[in-house]
Amino acid sequence: MNPRPLLAAAACGLCLALPGAASAQDKPASFATRLPVQTLTRAPYYRVDLPIEVYQAAAFGDLRDLRVFNAGGQAVPHTRLAASSEIATETRKTALRWFPLSAPATGAPEATPDQALAIVVKQNADGSLVEIHSNTGKSGATAGDEKPETLRGYVLDASPIAARESLRSLEIDWRGTPGNFQLVDLDASDDLQHWRRIQTGIQLARLEFNGERIERRQIELNGLRERYLRLIWREPAVAPALTDAIVEQTATHWAAAPISWSVPVPPSPDSRDLKPGEYAYKLPLALPLRQLRLQLPPGNVLLPLEVLVPAPDRRRWRPLARSVVYRITSNGREWSQNEIPLPGGMLDEFVVRIDPRSNTLPHGPLLAYGLEPAQLIFLASGEPPYQVAVGNRQAQDAALPAMTLIPGFGSQQVPEIGLATLKTGVQLGADPTATAPAASGIQPLPTEPRNWKKIILWSVLIAGVLGMALMAWQLLRQMNAGDKTPDQD
């Protein structure tokens, strides 16, 4: 009898049985904590901000044991995105003051704009303009010598605007005939004497036809260094009267990811090897902490301190962060700072050491810890309602890369991702035998009685796997023994 087919069959059976055992772990009842998901709209994907309660109830601080189940109890594909800062853009519009510029209607055509538009300026101390008028008069001129003037352009006062480098556009409006084109040049100056040409031959338009209006009244600006702008009309004879000049300013800044805070916790009662002014804190599991918040006692207080963590050999403490927390009241105003930034990383144990030269505390201070919560995105597979489950030490990481889960992720062609929220105050029933860290902050609710049929099924499955493994081992021994026996005629 050739044992090789039996060995192959046993190996196949073993391979089929093991994935079944692994998938049996991904059942809602195998997780100590299950929280319902509230979906606000219908969408192919949903995004959930994970609060700190999920971290506290998880078996692993990196949330590798997190699952999402649909109403049928099947796990749905999901991904976890680390919290990160976002670019926030603020747009502001500001109306500018403007001053008309005139020049003689019969001015020499060869005269430059600066020669034809000689002006007299009156300014405030901050540089803002009060008055501008053309200096077209000549010494000794009589009334009969005065020549008619025509509108040539406008000076726009941008000096009151801060951060002019963030100016993105200038939008103007004018009074005149409904349908016309205008060609203008745009200059900039800091002293109203020396001008720099920014753009030339800008085409503005306002057209009306059959009740429809087409307008082009915006001039693009890629930031501005100077304090003043000058608009010069190419055709003064048809120059309209300006009615509005509005600049649009875009400010971009980084918006830090929101911090999710725990409730304040007291120092650990285990204070051996600690000196006066040192307070130890222990968490139920290692978490990616980003900040600490110390609860200050009443009155004026100032506490220089440092945060210490165990060294790799666990025999001493090493510094992690330094800060100063305080509360100072003066003339009815309060200055306070009680948050301690951390460099990041997984922490489950640390010591706060307060400088002995500062205020003394009668009791160990209460302290809250905060982290930047990850975002969960899951596929709306199966029927709602959905639930997020954590608290299973046997669960392996099942999160997919975002690019795999969501086609076109990171581009404008990405499918719709709806918003969803977790109901942290309500917990669904869970298996009381599922393992999760203690003091998670979420107490499991009573669950249904133990399912003896499931236990018997698992026992039979494990026995079958062991039997097939024993059969494979015996067949392998027989094969090795046959290979060592010499062939006989």
Instruction: Supply the CATH number for residue 311's domain.
Output: 2.60.120
- Tell me: do 126 and 227 sit in the same domain: yes
Q: What is the pLDDT of residue 205?
A: 84
Q: Over the stretch 235-289, which tens digit does the pLDDT of each residue have? A: 887 788 889 999 998 776 555 668 889 999 999 887 667 888 889 999 988 998 9
Are 117 and 210 members of one domain? yes
- Strongest mean pLDDT among 11-20, 83-92, 276-285: 276-285
Q: 122 and 54 in one domain? A: no
Angstrom distance (rounded) from CA 120 to CA 192: 10
Residue whose pair of structure tokens reads 């905060």 in the numeric block: 370
* 184-188, 204-208, 236-240 — most confident range: 184-188
Within this chain, do residues 139 and 243 fall inside the same structural domain, yes or no? yes
Section 375-384 average pLDDT = 89
Q: Band of the pLDDT at 179, cuts 50, 70, 90?
A: low
For residue 106, what are the contacts with CB-CB under 8 A and spacing of at least 6?
147, 148
For residue 304, give the nearest of 264, 356, 344 by alpha carbon.
356
Provide mean pLDDT across the span 418-435. 65
Assess if residue 152 is contained within a domain.
yes
In the structure encoding, which two tokens stand for residue 3, read together?
Answer: 């044992």
Share of the chain above pLDDT 70, in %: 72
350 and 265 within one domain: yes
306 lies in some domain: yes
Same domain flag for 209 and 247 = yes
Check residue 258 and give its pLDDT: 80
**Please, are residues 14 and 468 in contact by the beta-carbon 8 Å criterion?**
yes
CA triple 219-225-227, angle to 5 deg:
85
Alpha carbon separation from 235 to 39, 60, 105, 201, 238 (Å, rounded): 61, 74, 11, 11, 6
344 and 395: one domain?
Answer: no
* Residue 402 in this model has a pLDDT that exceeds 90: no
Residue 292 lies in a domain: yes
Question: 219 in a domain, yes or no?
Answer: yes
Q: Is the pLDDT of residue 186 over 90?
A: yes
**Is it the case that residue 361 has pLDDT exceeding 60?**
yes
Query: How high is the pLDDT of residue 8?
Result: 47
At residue 355, does pLDDT exceed 80?
A: yes
Q: What is the pLDDT of residue 108?
A: 45
Q: Which residue has tokens 């969408």? A: 43
Query: Number of folded domains in the chain?
Result: 3
Whether residue 161 lies inside any domain: the answer is yes
| Inside any domain, residue 102 | yes
pLDDT band, residue 21 (cuts 50/70/90): very low
Which strands, in side-by-side order, build the sheet including 212-216? 97-104, 149-157, 228-233, 180-189, 195-209, 212-216
- The verdict on residue 229 lying in a domain is yes
Q: Are residues 247 and 105 in the same domain?
A: yes
| The pLDDT value given to residue 389 | 92
Q: Evaluate whether 122 touches 129 at the Cβ level (below 8 Å).
A: yes
Residue 28's pLDDT is 87
CA-CA distance, 284 to 61, in Å (whole number)? Answer: 10
User: In a 10 Å sphere around its CB, with 0-12 CB exposed, 13-18 middle and 19+ buried, how is residue 403 labelled?
Assistant: exposed
Residue indicated by tokens 């300006």? 242
- Do 246 and 116 share a structural domain? yes
Range of the domain at 52: 31-84+374-448
Categorize the per-residue pLDDT at 444 as very low, low, confident or very high, splitting at 50, 70 and 90.
Answer: very low
Extract the tokens encoding 123: 């300014």
Residue 279: Cβ within 10 Å count: 21
Residues 48 and 108 placed together within one structural domain of the fold: no
**242 and 111 assigned to the same domain:** yes
Q: Let me know if residue 60 belongs to a domain.
A: yes
